[in-house]
Structures are given as structure tokens and as C-alpha cells.
Structure 1
Amino acid sequence: MKDFQHHEYYTEILRTVITVIVFIALSQIIKRLTKRYARTAHLSEHRTNLITKYIDIFMMVLFVVVIIAIWGVNSQDLYVVFSSTFAVIGVAFFAQWSILSNITSGMILFFTFPFRIGDVIRVHDKDFPIEAQIEDIKAFHTILRTRAGELITYPNSLLLQKGVSIVPIKQEDKEFYD
């Protein structure tokens, strides 16, 4: 029986183990920094968890790419698989560009937080102006409640495209929105 160090895949296994350890550590550090940023910016736990999920997905994709490089997968075969996959994904995202746009907008709203849950906003849209209180900000849309009690699901991408004002709440209106 051969000694383990002389095994054909010893280097790849060692590099894979080191990569796993580095990615776990890096992922934890990034999550802690994101949570610390969210605490100092007084962002909701829901929004923080959403960004943490995005970070996990990004780190997993990056991890797979690094592992593929370590194990020396034939680049021609890999190129065919990736190009086919990206072509299908590209067509799907082009067909559903609003979904990708809303996810990106949700991330921008998280990091720039021009308004927060509880704020009353006015969306300056000539066809459908809205004044409502923000109840929740999700990955794809923001939940708004009007003075009449109507719930509106408003796409995040439109919040970045339209003019939005934060309306100061008057003392007599405060009980309505609470």
C-alpha cells in the first residue's frame, strides 16, 4: 500500500481543504462586517439576513470556481458547459430583467437606505402618485400602506427610478400610521 503523501491527488486534496477553511473564514468575516454595518446603520434584521443570503450565494459560486481550478478540470469541457449555461441564464434574465433589476435595487436600498421601515414616502409618478408608509422592504419589492389602509406592493427598481420624498409625519397623523 502506498504512503498517503505519494498519493496521486495529495496536492489537490490539500489545496481543497485549505480552500474550504479559507472560504469558511472569509464568509464569516464578511457576514460579521455586514451585520456590524447593519447595526451601526440601524437597519432591520430582515434586510441584513437578505444581504447575508446574497453573500452566501456569491461565495458559493466563487468557491466552485476555485475548486474547479484546483482540480484542473479540462478547460475546453468547462468552457462548453459554462457558455451553454450562461447563454440559457442570459436569455432567462433578459426575459425576466425586472426580477434581476429588483434584486439589485433591493441591495442598493439596503446599503444606501434612503428611507426606512416606518417612513412615510411620496412617490412622484405622474400616472400613479403614491403617499404611503413603508411597512417592509423585501428583496423584490417594498410593502406600502396608504392612509386609506390599502396595501401596495411596489417594485424596488421603481423606487430607484422614480422621485421619492420622505414625508414628515405630523403629530395628528402619527396615530394613523402607528
Structure 2
Amino acid sequence: MYNSFFNDFAREAIATGIVLILLVLLRIITTKLVRRYARLSQTVERRTNLVIKYLHLLINILLLVALVIIWGVDAKDIIIAVSSLATIVGVAMVAQWSILSNITSGIILFFSYPFKIGDTIHIHDKDFPVIAEIEDIGAFYISMINKEGELVIYPNNLLLQKGISIINLESKSDSEFTD
């Protein structure tokens, strides 16, 4: 039975093996590249792991597509499955666009690296201006502590929409720290 399976599907089995080896290699290479970039830009480990997780998810999706093509699943069946899945995900994403926007913004902030933990920033928001020191940068938001010691949580997507100044507090007096 094993010989019969291998004889009937030798090409597919070999291609699957090659794809799996490529998967492992791509995951190792992307992990090393992101970690090297993070080390050079002094990025926080938690942010680095988050970007690596996103890239691994993308690689896994590409692997799944490759395996479907290799094993010759009927294109009509793939289109039906993908369109059904896209419909479900689309409805969910319309309801959760803010979460997706914050994740995307978190990735952009990771690679553009405009500020780091410990920087004091001024967010130029006419309704809610913020001057605070960055305590943590997450996938969805940054945590900051303002002059009064209050914890301020600010969504990543708004950081990309507002003007931001990076302030060097050592050169500022308390009177200059206010709006």
C-alpha cells in the first residue's frame, strides 16, 4: 500500500517535502533578518517577536496555498472556499477595522521606528494634546506616563495620523512641559 501511494503521488510527495523545507528555511531567514534589524535599531524584544509572528503567519498561508496547488485541488473548489472565507473575514473586519488598523500601524511603527521607549513625545491633537514619556510600545497601542504620573494609553493608528514632536526633557524646564 505504501509503495502504491508513493508510486501514484511521487511528484506531489517530493514537491511537498521541498515546500516544507522551504517553509523552515524562510521562517529561519525572516526571523534572523527581523532580529538583526531590531538589534541595529534597538527595538524592544516584544515588538520584534510580534513582527516575527506576523511574518510566520504570512509564510504559513503561502505554504498552504502552495500545498493546495501541488496536490491539485480543483480551482473551482478553491475559489468557493476562499470567497466564503473572505466573506466571513470581511464581515468580521468591518466590525473590527480599528483592531486591524492598530495592528497595521504597529507594524509600520516597528519598521519606521520614529520614537523609542523612554522618549518623551508631544502628540499634537487639538482635542486631547498629550505630552508624556513612552513606557511601552505594543501591537495595538503605546503606554505613556504624563507629568502628573497618569498612565495614558494611545492607539497606534492615531499616532500615524497626528503630528508628534520628540522632546528631550533634560533640556526642558517644568514650565515648558505644559501646553
Fold match by TM threshold 0.5: yes
- Structure 1 portions without partners, runs of 5+: 174-178
User: TM-score of the superposition, structure 2-length normalised?
Assistant: 0.91
Q: Structure 2: how far apart are the matches of 1:64 and 1:19?
A: 10
Post-superposition CA distance 1:92-148 (Å, at most 9, x none) = 112211111100000000000100011000010110000001111100111111111
Q: Structure 2: how far apart are the matches of 1:4 and 1:143?
A: 60
2:40 aligns to what?
40
Residue 8 of structure 2 aligns to a residue whose secondary structure is coil
Mapped contact 2:6–2:13 kept (Cα < 8 A): no
Q: Structure 2: how far apart are the matches of 1:92 and 1:172?
A: 46
Find runs of 4+ consecutive structure 1 residues off by over 3 angstroms.
1-6
1:176 aligns to what?
none
Mapped contact 2:123–2:131 kept (Cα < 8 A): yes
Mapped contact 1:4–1:10 kept (Cα < 8 A): no
Mapped contact 2:124–2:163 kept (Cα < 8 A): yes
2:77 aligns to what?
77
Post-superposition CA distance 1:50-86 (Å, at most 9, x none) = 1111111111111111111111111111111110110
Q: Structure 1: how far apart are the matches of 2:76 and 2:54?
A: 30
- How many residue pairs align between the two structures? 173
User: Following superposition of structure 1 onto structure 2, how do residues 15-164 of structure 1 map, counting pairs within 5 Å?
Assistant: 15-164=15-164
Shift of residue 6, structure 1, vs aligned partner: 6.0
What amino acid sits opposite 1:146 in the alignment? N
CA-based RMSD: 1.7
- Structure 2 portions without partners, runs of 5+: 174-179
Mapped contact 1:99–1:140 kept (Cα < 8 A): yes
